[in-house]
Amino acid sequence: MDIWSWMCDLPNSADWPDSNSPLTFQLTPSQHDEKSILLKAERTSGSNTETLVTFSICLQGFNNSNSQYKTTLWVSDTCSLSSSNKPFLPLLMQLLQEIISRSPIAYNSTCPRSQFPKLKPEPISWIIDSHSPESFSSFFNLVFLCRLFWLCVCDSHFEVGELYFNTLLAPNFNLLSCGHVVRNFLISMGIDAELCFMRTIGYMVAKWLMLRNMGVGLQLLTPLQSYGFSYAMESHGFWILKGFAPILSMTPTRFDKKLGQGRVLEAKESVLRYVLAHQQLEAVIQLEYSVCFYDNFIQVNARVENLRFHVVKLGFNNNDDGEYTNETYFPSRIRVWVGPEVGAAYVAGLSLSRSTENPDKEMENQKVVKGNFGKTKAPVLKAKTRTSVRTMTRNWRWEQDVDGNAVIFEAILHDDVNGSEVATWKPTSGGNPKNGLKKRYTGGSRVFNKTGGLVLAGDEYGEWVSWRVSKEMEGSVLKWRLGGKVWLSYFPNDVKSNYFETRCVDWCQEVDLPLIQGKQI
């Protein structure tokens, strides 16, 4: 599917067919039953020197009585092919604005769709100018694929949605590989547009993987892989990695194996599974770094400044889950690493700031002696000794480790009574970590915030680690690796169910490290 190239090759005013008949691009491959989804370009009224065109999406062959019957789903605003050096900028802005206006909303969002402002043309124009036609073509096709999703799956007959999933979404989901264009787009548009765009993609992936898991034929079209997305950047003394992963795209690590043995789901458990499938992990890994210059070496310092993990519901109504409103996955293990590129020989030393935890125990001994002195045949003397132990317990255990020259920061949620790690727990292990984490979003001693998210800031784990870099690298901009791996677990919160599961996703990106004096904070 290369819509952008087809649009760029549309004829100008002099070469347009005399009949002004629409030019057609067939979005779906030819089918034996002749059902197809079409994109039409139709010239509208205009002068001889100006070509005004509107685009429309049409369905053909979905009327049983007439295989040539066409239904129009969508019509674009008018584009001028001759009066601008970016004739399709208005079309791209229209597609993005309509995608954002239809995007799923998170529970208690502070940015409802009704208050989202209109997009500004400058960032989008910059995206067109700053990328090669091949790279931008993939991005435009991805945007068009998102717009088609709402039209074909949500606004049309189920046969249209089936054709969309089988012939459009499945074969073309490699469009997400244009990651650098998507990255630049998300950064230039701001966080609010970023969330709307990525939640639309997450919703698409969730619906697609649900159909795949149900066994409707999509297994043969696409290999099983992770469809999470991440990007990283360096900004104002921060290294920032942002990651998005629909729940069903994450790799299962602990789950009820009876499901794979033909166990029939009860109705309530099926509803629960359906609710959990419409959730997405949104992560922000933010490290602060600094660079110090000495006579014989350069010292690079880094520390965890903010780790934020939220599991959002990809829905359209805050109350659409009923009794399952508080049923969400939660972070149970977090692994963040940062360090130079693989094979780098310019790092001479690495220093950590935290020893392997060796917790202290406070011992308290108390001795009580009781005696009875009197005129008795045998002396009476009683002694009693009491010993008590007091320890400090926390829900999260922080650790540091290394892998080559990369530093690993790890946080593990565990049961503060029996020590069980939540991410690796399964019924055969015995026990029930933290009482199954029931009512985990309420009460003063809850592990997560009210919306089910988790924030780990510098006050929790802000120790610095450092690398010593060769003085010869001064003046260069190095590429360092920044990655994260997140485990999400589910145990029933308010409902009665035996269902449990843990999934994980990992990301790795490159960030800039400028070794230029005066460029660091």
What mean pLDDT comes out for the span 132-161?
90
- Span 354-375, average pLDDT: 66
CA 21, distance to chain mean position in Å, is 44
Q: Determine the residue type at 158.
A: F
For residue 430, the model assigns a pLDDT of 58
Look-up: residue for tokens 């984490």? Answer: 437
Highest mean pLDDT among 159-163, 219-223, 405-409: 405-409
Q: Which amino acid is at 423?
A: A
The DSSP output letter for 48 is T
* Percent of residues, the chain, with pLDDT higher than 70: 77
Give the model confidence (pLDDT) of 271-287 as tens digits.
888 999 999 999 999 99
Q: Give me the mean pLDDT over the 378-399 stretch.
A: 67
Contact (Cβ atoms closer than 8 angstroms) between residue 413 and residue 373: no
List the single range of 127-131, 244-248, 504-508 with lowest mean pLDDT: 127-131
Q: Hey, where are the domains in the chain?
A: 3-87, 267-352+394-521
Please, which pLDDT band fits residue 224 given cuts at 50, 70 and 90?
A: very low
Residue 219 confidence (pLDDT): 47
Residues 6 or more apart whose CB falls under 8 angstroms from that of 297 comprise 348, 468, 469, 470, 471
pLDDT band at residue 381 under the 50/70/90 scheme:
low
Place of tokens 């990328």: 131
**249 Rama sector, left if φ>0, alpha if ψ -120 to 50, beta otherwise:** alpha
**What are phi and psi for residue 229, nearest 5 degrees?**
-135, 145
Reported as a pLDDT band with limits 50, 70 and 90, residue 220 is very low
Q: How much of the chain exceeds pLDDT 90, in percent?
A: 35
Number of alpha carbons in the 13 Å side-chain half-sphere of residue 355 = 3
Asked whether the predicted pLDDT for residue 337 surpasses 80, the reply is yes
> Measured between alpha carbons, how far is residue 443 from residues 420, 446, 450 in Å?
22, 6, 9
Residue 332's pLDDT band, with cuts at 50, 70 and 90, is: very high
Whether 264 shows a pLDDT value over 70: the answer reads no
* CA 18 to each of CA 12, 44, 74, 414: distance values in angstroms, whole numbers, following the listed order: 12, 13, 25, 73
Q: Are 329 and 488 in contact (CB under 8 A)?
A: yes
What is the distance between the alpha carbons of residues 228 and 103, in angstroms, rounded to a whole number? 18
Query: What pLDDT is recorded for position 521?
Result: 44
Mean pLDDT score of the chain, rounded to an integer?
Answer: 82
User: Residue range 476-496: average pLDDT?
Assistant: 91
Q: Binning pLDDT at 50, 70 and 90, where does residue 221 land?
A: very low
Q: How far apart are CA 28 and CA 35, in angstroms?
A: 9
pLDDT at 265 over 70: no
Provide the pLDDT for residue 475: 92
Exposure letters 156-177 (e unless 16+ CB within 10 A, then b): beeebbbbbbbbbbbebbebbe
| Tens-digit pLDDT profile for residues 394-447 | 788 888 999 999 999 999 998 766 778 888 887 666 566 666 577 788 877 788
Q: What is the pLDDT of residues 18-73, one digit of tens each?
A: 666 778 898 887 665 678 899 999 888 665 667 788 999 999 888 665 656 678 99
For residue 93, name the pLDDT band (cuts at 50, 70, 90). very high
Residue 1 pLDDT: 72
Residue 454: CA count within 13 A, CB half-sphere:
27
Residues 78-103: what's their mean pLDDT? Answer: 87
- Nearest Cα neighbor of 516 from 484, 464, 475 is 475
pLDDT band at residue 323 using 50, 70 and 90 as cut-offs:
confident
What local confidence, expressed as pLDDT, does residue 223 receive?
44
